[in-house]
């Protein structure tokens, strides 16, 4: 049996092989070779693509370069969503490597947030952690931490330091002994097919009778279309970090072990491949 702590490591070190290609309409002085990179599932596009930017800027004229943005099959990729979520939602059942197109012009204002510096990513990351703790602990744990602890969470993510990150994050995964879990579970459910950005609601990990709520319970409550009737074909996949956890898994366990570093469970509901 795998130790629970191994799950934390597996989640942290998950990688997606990606091929970055420059958009054909970008003006270059020489031919732009594609750039290959293993992307960390738990990180953010603009945090880990400095090398990609440098690679393509080498073949472009200075004046043609403005803010970089990424697109997959026509869909602008939101840098403020974790990479693993973007892949699971848009490309999980396609052949690897993941082919991402790089743009330097015509920034799609309506679809994407700007990301002028790493500070923007840090602010977004910390805001998500704070929101998650507001749900889990009424913000008590995050507010009791010092600024340097907050900084350590960010530095751990930025520098891919698992131990450094979890030294602080483990406190965010604790709960009072008299409770059996968090107050509410921080989760977001995404579906590529709907108009809404995501579903996020209040959901308790423990039922009034004391039983642990499961992933299936969560879905039944907030997204019943994701679970098809008893028999019959399951038309959708419920995916977290590239796998389909069993619906019987307690949601409290999932929250503690399979959240992203921002402390949210980002869940993708995607069509099941037919072959």
Partner 1 sequence: VDVLLKAVGDTPIMKTKKWAVERTRTIQGLVDFIKKFLKLVASEQLFIYVNQSFAPSPDQEVGTLYECFGSDGKLVLHYCKTQAWG
Please say whether the beta carbons of 248 and 216 come within 8 A.
Answer: yes
Report the C-alpha gap between 205 and 207 in whole angstroms. 7
Binding mask 231-260 for partner 1 (x = CB under 8 A): ------------------------------
Burial of 247 (0-12, 13-18, 19+ CB in 10 A): middle
| Extended strands (E) in the chain | 15-22, 35-40, 69-72, 75-76, 98-103, 187-191, 236-239, 265-271
- The pairing of strands 265-271 and 236-239 is antiparallel
Q: Tell me which stretch binds partner 1 (CB under 8 A): 23-31, 64-72, 128-136, 241-249.
A: 128-136
In the complex, the smallest distance separating the C-beta of residue 92 from partner 1, rounded to whole angstroms, is: 23
Min CB(251)–partner 1 separation in Å: 16
Query: Using CB under 8 A, which of the segments 54-62, 192-200, 231-239, 251-259 binds partner 1?
Result: 192-200
Number of alpha carbons in the 13 Å side-chain half-sphere of residue 145: 21
Q: Which of 22, 42, 115, 135 binds partner 1 (CB under 8 A)?
A: 135
CA distance 75 to 88: 14
# residues near partner 1 by CB under 8 A: 24
Regarding 118 and contact with partner 1 (CB under 8 A), the answer is no
Q: Work out whether 75 is an interface residue with partner 1 (CB under 8 A).
A: no
Which segment (65-73, 87-95, 175-183, 195-203) binds partner 1 by CB under 8 A? Answer: 195-203
Query: Which tokens hold the place of 193?
Result: 């097919």
Q: Shortest approach of partner 1 to residue 186 CB, angstroms? A: 9
CB of 184 to partner 1, least distance (A): 8
Ramachandran angles phi, psi of 175, nearest 5°: -150, 160
Q: Check residue 80 for interaction with partner 1 (CB under 8 A).
A: yes
Let me know: does 66 contact 97? Beta carbons within 8 Å. Answer: no
Angle at 49 between CA 45 and CA 55, to 5 degrees: 145
Question: Which one of 30, 31, 176, 202 is in contact with partner 1 (CB under 8 A)?
Answer: 202
Select the span of 21-29, 120-128, 204-212, 228-236 touching partner 1 (CB under 8 A): 120-128
Site string for partner 1, 137-176 (x = CB under 8 A): --x--xx------x--------------------------
Longest dimension (CA), the chain: 68
| 46, 121 Cβ separation under 8 angstroms | yes
Q: Using CB under 8 A, list all residues that contact partner 1.
A: 78, 80, 113, 123-124, 126-128, 130-131, 134-135, 139, 142-143, 150, 184, 196-202
């Amino acid at each position: 049996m795998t130790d629970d702590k191994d799950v934390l490591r597996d989640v942290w070190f998950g990688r997606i092989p990606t091929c970055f290609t420059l958009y054909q309409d970008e003006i270059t002085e020489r031919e732009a070779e594609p750039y290959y990179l293993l992307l960390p599932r738990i990180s953010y596009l603009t945090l880990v693509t400095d090398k990609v930017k440098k690679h393509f800027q080498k073949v472009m004229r200075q004046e043609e370069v403005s803010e970089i943005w990424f697109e997959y099959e026509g869909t602008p990729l939101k840098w403020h969503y974790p990479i693993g979520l973007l892949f699971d939602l848009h490309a999980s059942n396609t052949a690897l490597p993941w082919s991402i197109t790089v743009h330097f012009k015509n920034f799609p204002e309506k679809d994407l947030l700007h990301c002028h510096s790493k500070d923007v990513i840090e602010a977004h990351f910390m805001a998500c952690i704070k929101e998650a703790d507001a749900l889990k602990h009424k913000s008590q744990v995050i507010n009791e931490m010092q600024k340097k602890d907050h900084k350590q969470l960010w530095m751990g993510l930025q520098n891919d330091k698992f131990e450094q990150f979890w030294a602080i994050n483990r406190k965010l995964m604790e709960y009072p002994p008299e409770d059996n879990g968090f107050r509410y579970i921080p989760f977001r459910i995404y579906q590529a097919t709907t108009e809404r950005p995501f579903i996020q609601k209040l959901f308790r990990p423990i039922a009034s009778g004391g039983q642990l709520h499961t992933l299936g319970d969560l879905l039944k409550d907030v997204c019943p279309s994701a679970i098809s009737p008893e028999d019959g074909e399951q038309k959708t996949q419920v995916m977290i970090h590239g796998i389909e956890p069993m619906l019987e898994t307690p949601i409290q366990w999932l929250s503690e072990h399979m959240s992203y570093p921002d402390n949210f469970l980002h869940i993708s509901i995607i069509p099941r491949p037919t072959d």
